[in-house]
Amino acid sequence: MRDSLFLAWRYLRHHRAKTLLLVLSLSVFLGLPLVMRAMSAVIQESLMARAESTPLLLGKKGSSLDLVVEALYFQPKGIDALTTADANEIDQTGLALAIPMRTGLMAQQFPVLGTSLDYFSFRGLKTAEGRGLATLGECVVGAEVAASLGLKPGDSILTSPSTLFDLAGVYPLRLQVVGTLEPSHGPDDRAVFVDVKTAWVAEGLGHGHQDLATAGNDVILKRKDGTATANAKLVQYNEITDENAESFHFHGDPSNYPVSAIIVVPNDDKARVLLRGRFVNDSARQLLRPAQVVQGLNEQIFRFERVLQLIVWTVGLATALMFVLVMVLSWRLRSDELRTMTRLGCSRWKAVQIMGAEVLLMVGASVALAAFFGFVIAQFGEAWLQNLILRGS
């Protein structure tokens, strides 16, 4: 057998392009269905785990899937916003804890989540380095964000501008990184966390600027009757520091400030039932169980996966047949070699052994490659695939 493997290995190595092509095709045929099944199961589990860990979610009436996807997995779906008043309303019932979430902002390619401290204890997020949020303008980054951007406490990160060409658009806000989180193996690893007030500042609802009462005349357009009108020279701060934090303020009624969604954590089952009853006829808002919504998505994924499996198996069968054809044709072309082997005294069984060794090596390499790809995808592909599903949902 060793000689057969030796000859097979030498042949395959000499014809590496053909060998590689065959091995790749086989590995795809062998690996893809298994990887798909494994990934599908993992994704469904991880999606479901995330959804099940969130008891209730309050959002504006509309697509429940979009609401869940944006609030739980931070995929921007353009959902309509609630207001802080809605969160206060939940709090005032005394039946649940309301955790506001403001999504839609990005910092480089990572979603920014404006929320409250309760979010961290709710999700069991622990600090790896540094500390938690303390003041406006600070952020805490998930493990993947920290690793990907090389961030640590003391660094800073810019929010992405809302518009590139709109001169009246909101400019980036520099966030101070005060902490990084331990990996949680979920969407939180890929998020940048800020206080919800910081999110409002970043989207232009709050701002800080020079004190007009004491500002020089170069920034004042006119003063009259206790009213000062500033000109464009007025410096508006794009970073919140210890020195200027007090200058940051919001205008209007804070209860009208936007909140993308609210995680509602009922005190007990009775409270949950009571709360759901309150919103069942609400025409403007929906209070839903994320697990129920994700279950629907999972069913779709499962159905899609079955169709895909069928296609993959069909293509795989064709690939296998092509492989066999290539091998047969290859040996036909090597008839001289076979004849020489026979003349030199090689038995038919030995010849079969040598041919079989080539197949064995290629199949072995395909299996190994499929296993390797499966491992890589399992390690790194889950998040990518999850994003793909959620973006397309």
The site for other proteins (CB under 8 A) is made up of 3-4, 6-7, 10-11, 13-15, 91, 97-98, 116-118, 121, 131-138, 168, 178, 195, 197, 209, 212-213, 226-230, 234, 236, 240, 242, 245-246, 248-249, 251, 336-337, 339-347, 350
Angle 193-203-146 (CA atoms, 0-180°, nearest 5)? 25
Closer to other proteins by CB, 4 or 260: give it.
Answer: 4
Give the shortest CB-302-to-other proteins separation in angstroms.
38
Closer to other proteins by CB, 116 or 180: give it.
Answer: 116
CA gap 105, 20 in Å, rounded = 45
> In degrees to the nearest 10, what's the CA dihedral of 87, 91, 96, 98?
30
Give the shortest CB-328-to-other proteins separation in angstroms.
19
Give the shortest CB-303-to-other proteins separation in angstroms.
41
CA gap 66, 62 in Å, rounded = 8
Give the shortest CB-212-to-other proteins separation in angstroms.
4
What letter represents residue 376's amino acid? V
Q: What is the gyration radius of the CA atoms in the chain, in angstroms?
A: 30
Give the shortest CB-290-to-other proteins separation in angstroms.
20
Residue 130 bridge partners (DSSP): 179
Q: Which residues of 303-333 are buried (b: 16+ CB within 10 A; e: fewer)?
A: eebeeebeebeeebeebeeebeeeeeeeeee
Closer to other proteins by CB, 43 or 90: give it.
Answer: 90
Give the shortest CB-214-to-other proteins separation in angstroms.
9
Sign of the CA dihedral 268, 273, 274, 275? Answer: positive
Closer to other proteins by CB, 25 or 176: give it.
Answer: 176
Give the shortest CB-309-to-other proteins separation in angstroms.
38
DSSP assignments along 142-199, one per residue: -HHHHHHHT--TT-EEEPPPS-SS-TTSPPP-EEEEEEEEPP-SSGGGG-EEEEHHHH
Closer to other proteins by CB, 106 or 234: give it.
Answer: 234
Side-chain-side CA neighbours of 174 within 13 Å: the count stands at: 11
CA gap 393, 174 in Å, rounded = 32
Closer to other proteins by CB, 320 or 338: give it.
Answer: 338
CA gap 211, 337 in Å, rounded = 92
- Beta strand pairing status for 258-259 and 82-83? antiparallel
Closer to other proteins by CB, 39 or 170: give it.
Answer: 170
Closer to other proteins by CB, 38 or 341: give it.
Answer: 341
Give the shortest CB-272-to-other proteins separation in angstroms.
17
Give the shortest CB-88-to-other proteins separation in angstroms.
9
Closer to other proteins by CB, 132 or 183: give it.
Answer: 132
* Burial class of residue 42 (count of CB atoms within 10 Å of its CB; 0-12, 13-18, 19+): middle
Side-chain-side CA neighbours of 90 within 13 Å: the count stands at: 29
Residue where the block lists tokens 């403001």: 102
Residue 113 bridge partners (DSSP): 193
Give the shortest CB-34-to-other proteins separation in angstroms.
33
Closer to other proteins by CB, 12 or 32: give it.
Answer: 12
Residue where the block lists tokens 């469904």: 44
